[in-house]
Structure 1
């Protein structure tokens, strides 16, 4: 009978121990679940804030994979180029870059891939839906472990147009000033050489 009580006592002790373990495991799971729920709420909030940031930006924000495929674009792309965000995302970045700019763009993309997060600044032209071109000034950084490039582009077409107008104006003014000065210099040379006779 003592042996029976001892066996019963051991069985009850084991049940209590198993119950304590189960309670401990349940408590650990509840804490882990609460931590996971908090992390999910924080992540959802961060994604919502990122979405607002993308939606509000006047600049062209983008996340591009290292193969040149767009993964996320801000609405400013549509306003600037005329393509819908979906139309742009369905294309490879190379399809939108001006042919004369592709080689330089490919070099900069390679620098990003090899640079491991280094910032790259460059300019190129992107196609608009109406068949024109917009100059974009890029500031980008790669995150190699994710295989992504985070980039901000700004439409600098107006600045480029104004710069070209300044260059053209300076060229015209320089030419227009040079022509009369050449005539004056030639006339002074003739006078100094005595061609017109003695000066009074």
Structure 2
């Protein structure tokens, strides 16, 4: 039976000889399978290229736990996941294949609703209530921060809705980009104004 410490599970690959990209891929896959089989893979991650930049996807056994934009610093995001969830993190694309596929469909305008298991452990309290409401804002529609606050049960918590959206650990999949200001302005967005404009334009077309 193979045994590895947390650090070994994450860094073992660096010590392996690499001859070409195909060898690299096969070795990574073997390491990911071995780590999962031995209960050493708590968080799997991969990246995908999209019209809003490279997105980092991370998932636990419970579901997708994090989607992160380039501007959030993927290395920093992984470090925070190690602190908040588990240090047993490994590049293991297979676990993220369904999420990557559905995101590809979304950006190709062939998917309007995501059907993925989600792990919301990074959000609690009112922020979690806000995130629970966001998927109810239909594709191609928007709601104001005030409307979302009312729907989440706290009509006066408009600023708290802004904070919940800004700290949404699952942007795009949990559509905080559909929340806009009452005057029609975009408001803030974790991926930046250009990304928010791209997503809203994509859904409006």
- The TM tier, using the shorter chain, reads under 0.3
Which structure has more helix as a fraction of its residues?
A: 1
Which structure has more strand as a fraction of its residues?
A: 1
TM-score (norm. length: structure 2): 0.23
TM-score (norm. length: structure 1): 0.23
